Amino acid sequence: MLNFNFYNPTNILFGKGQMSELDSLVPKDSIVLITYGGGSVIKNGILDSVKTELAKSPRKVLEFGGIEPNPKFETLMKAVALVRAEKVDFLLAVGGGSVMDGTKFIALAAVADEFKGQEEKLLSYGFNPVPVATAIPMGTVVTLPATGSEMNSGGVVTRGEDKLPVFSPHVFPKFSILDPELTYTLPPVQVANGVVDTFIHVVEQYITYPVDARFQDRTSEGILRTLVEIGKTTVDNPTDYEARANLVWCATMALNGLIGSGVPQDWSIHMIGHEMTALFGIDHAQTLAVVTPAMWRVRREQKKEKLLQYAERVWNFTEGSEDERIDAAIAKTEEFFHSLGIKTRLTDHGIDEAGIERIVKALEKHGMVALPETGDVTPEVSRKILKAAL
């Protein structure tokens, strides 16, 4: 097991009706800004419920809607201006990963005086914490299970064609309300994306190389098996509470630091996928579903031991040669994604060899020239992976 640091102070309130705790969770004398996305929370009534709860104490409540998927720096800076002008002292993100990620950026940028006028620099620290002393406290009401943003300290913000990570321990949400029923009205494709996104968050921390971290491995395998069991059910039957509850909790656990503690991590699937989203507008999870099988085919030697473990413990493949077991596990993974309506080839998204070159160029531009976990995913290897995904 590798040395690690694990710290996660987010207060999770999980289950039916937890919205009723909101009034006790948000400071009663605060100036609150509710942040949300394209308006689904208006249509399905969740925003109204939030406002009703917040109105139970004499706080001032403001709203900022319109945070788009892959939240844009320019949009978020409008919220930053509002926060500064109105002296907002609590942020409440009501939405999915994009709203929560965007709100984390707002929380940092609004009070980072040393970055004032050059807030884009907050996006230049990669996976290192940004050098700030504080952030506006925030909470979340989660409406889309996928990103784990409700219980971690990071986000991804889009600036031009760049998808840029931003991290700070100051943006762990103070609380997150996870009521599976709040996710019932999601379009099926977003639920399917959430299942795949969660699955591949685990993959990035699990299918690397073994370091005898048994709790972490088995917890990862538990999430993967659960997703395989309940994925199609929760896409097809959105109001099946138990299936949805298992998805929601797995999505949080997949990216809150727990399964990645003390093990090597990859994230090259995400790095390549981010470029595909930025260049072609493909849904985040769908880019990952394309890259993952190809990544495993090209890097099967480097990942061999963990791929065999995955084949055995997630898919029960114990017979046949090593290559046969790995091939069977990759095929099963693709089959699983397909069963959710998620495609796994670049050509399914209209991307050809010329598109691959654009992706590889973007990786080079962003300095993604030696991706983890073994540092050998050069742009040339990325090209090979993308060609295997055609």
379 binds a second copy (CB under 8 A): no
Q: Quick one: which segment of 189-197, 221-229, 303-311, 351-359 binds a second copy (CB under 8 A)?
A: 221-229
Element (H, E) at 139: strand 138-142
- Please classify residue 234 by burial: count the beta carbons closer than 10 Å to its beta carbon, then call 0-12 exposed, 13-18 middle and 19+ buried: buried
222 binds a second copy (CB under 8 A): yes
Q: Which of 30, 40, 49, 226 binds a second copy (CB under 8 A)?
A: 226
191 binds a second copy (CB under 8 A): no
Residue with smaller CB distance to a second copy, 18 or 277: 18
Q: Which of 36, 249, 315, 337 binds a second copy (CB under 8 A)?
A: 249
206 binds a second copy (CB under 8 A): no
DSSP 126: T
305 binds a second copy (CB under 8 A): no
Q: Quick one: which segment of 34-42, 115-123, 219-227, 329-337 binds a second copy (CB under 8 A)?
A: 219-227
Q: Which of 27, 126, 245, 361 binds a second copy (CB under 8 A)?
A: 245
318 binds a second copy (CB under 8 A): no
Residue with smaller CB distance to a second copy, 39 or 131: 131
131 binds a second copy (CB under 8 A): no
20 binds a second copy (CB under 8 A): no
DSSP 380: H
Q: Quick one: which segment of 3-11, 81-89, 97-105, 119-127 binds a second copy (CB under 8 A)?
A: 3-11
Give the separation between CA 303 and CA 64, rounded to whole angstroms.
44
Euclidean distance between the first and final Cα of the chain, in Å?
37
Q: Which of 12, 79, 235, 351 binds a second copy (CB under 8 A)?
A: 12
Give the separation between CA 360 and CA 368, rounded to whole angstroms.
9
- Please classify residue 122 by burial: count the beta carbons closer than 10 Å to its beta carbon, then call 0-12 exposed, 13-18 middle and 19+ buried: buried
2 binds a second copy (CB under 8 A): yes
Q: Quick one: which segment of 13-21, 32-40, 58-66, 374-382 binds a second copy (CB under 8 A)?
A: 13-21
Neighbouring C-alpha atoms within 13 Å toward the C-beta of 29: 0
Transcribe 238-296 into DSSP letters.
TT-HHHHHHHHHHHHHHTSSTTTTTS----HHHHHHHHHHHHH---HHHHHHHHHHHHH
Characterize 203-232 residue by residue with b for buried, 16 or more Cβ atoms within 10 angstroms of its Cβ, and e for exposed.
bbbbbbeeeebeebbebbbbbbebbbebbb
Neighbouring C-alpha atoms within 13 Å toward the C-beta of 67: 32
Residue with smaller CB distance to a second copy, 10 or 265: 10
Residues in the site for a second copy, rule: CB under 8 A? 1-18, 212-215, 217-219, 221-223, 225-226, 229-230, 242, 245-246, 249-250, 253, 258, 261-262
